[in-house]
Amino acid sequence: YYVSVAFLDLFEFMFRLHKTKTIDPLLWQRWNKLVHIFLTIPKFKRVWEETKSSHTVEFIEFFDSLQDLEE
């Protein structure tokens, strides 16, 4: 559980760096791919549903849109 929460926080941090253009686009590409990989893990998706209210609205919209693509 706590490892998943930590990764979600890290993903949001990387997302924020991407949105503010303070991360190299190629590095963001790697992180974005990793998010997609994590979304294949059922427990990770459950933790997201339980904790997403602690994230920014912009990140919630981004992350939920990726889940829609996975389904």
38, 14 Cβ separation under 8 angstroms: no
Domain boundaries, the chain: 2-70
Structure confidence at residue 70 as a pLDDT band (50, 70, 90): low
pLDDT in tens, 3-32: 999 999 999 999 999 999 999 999 999 999
pLDDT in tens, 22-60: 999 999 999 999 999 999 999 999 999 999 999 999 999
Under DSSP, the state recorded for 22 is: -
pTM of the model: 0.91
**Angle, in degrees to the nearest 10, between helices 42-51 and 2-19:** 70
Q: What is the dihedral of CA 44, 45, 46, 49, to 10 degrees?
A: 120
